[in-house]
Amino acid sequence: MKEPIFLEPIFKDYIWGGTKLKTLFGKNTPYEITAESWEVSTNKNGKSIIRNGIHKGKDLEELYQDKKLRETIFGTKTKEKDIFPLLIKFIDANSNLSVQVHPDDKYAFEKENGEKGKTEMWYIMECKQGAQIICGMKESVKQEQLADILQKTNLEDYLNFVSVEKGDCIYIPSGTIHAILGDTIICEIQQNSDLTYRVYDWGRKDKDGKPRELHVQKATEVVRVENRPNVIKTASWGECEREIYSSAFFKVNKLTIRGIKKEVSNRETFYAMNVVNGTGSIQTKEKNYNLKVGDSFIIPATLGEYELNGNMELLKSYL
């Protein structure tokens, strides 16, 4: 595979979304209000369509399930993985998301018909001054208190509010109660799962005027009160490539490009690339491709040498 794979996103018009994915990133969304742009996905609730090259028009799942192509494009580490491991989104939280939690693989497999759990990572692309997110519960909360606390109308008093700024990275392992709060744009890199248990939704109603469904009982079974926020500040990092996150599920590096950086693909794994700031280009032996903030593409495992050029920041996610 001798070219990067560019993808058409899938858009979601959840009620807390805004207009910044269109105005800041130039996303061609059909919705007036767009909450999420699923950039790299084979999930049943939205599959990325390839927009260039010999596989143009196919969805990413078709390529992944083609055993002749899987190792060539996605690397030898995916040989035994029946499900594409990642789901990557841009999220425009114009208002607060629900307070929620995701199960781990074991719980999801047993209670959700063999689904995957969800561990995720957030990278703050834009936010207002003084922005906060919710991540975890206050240290005073004990696990045996959880069932009672999640039923309380003053749940906010027990949640951990964390200040964030552009360039911050936050690790959200499964079992961590959390919420993205308003006026924040993030890149979310996660396991390939769409399982969410809502705990609290700020008294909000859906498009039909009804309260959105909550899942307090399931949340009680999966929340781990000992999970604490882990915020990594990357805004001051100079020109470099540096790991910002590593888990059993995926790894993420941040690349800060100032000029030309020569790269080479890895036969063990694909790289999912998301431009989170600036502009530039990627040059292969075959062609030059322009890049801007909000672009997403895959470096196939067998691409070979390529160059990143410009003044930009990218996230590189891989196995």
Residues assigned a catalytic role: 198
CA distance 41 to 52: 16
Q: Do 293 and 277 contact (CB within 8 A), yes or no?
A: yes
* Chain CA centroid to CA 173, Å: 13
Strands 99-101 and 42-43: unpaired
Burial of 249-287, coded b for 16+ CB within 10 Å and e otherwise, reads bbbbbbbbbeeebebebbeebbbbbbbbbbebbbbbeee
Both structure tokens of 284: 């292969």
Both structure tokens of 24: 């800041």
Nearest Cα to Cα of residue 131 among 84, 183, 168, 176? 183
Nearest Cα to Cα of residue 43 among 5, 3, 85, 98? 85
Place of tokens 């975890």: 136
Sheet hosting strand 197-200, strand order edge to edge: 159-163, 132-137, 178-180, 99-101, 197-200
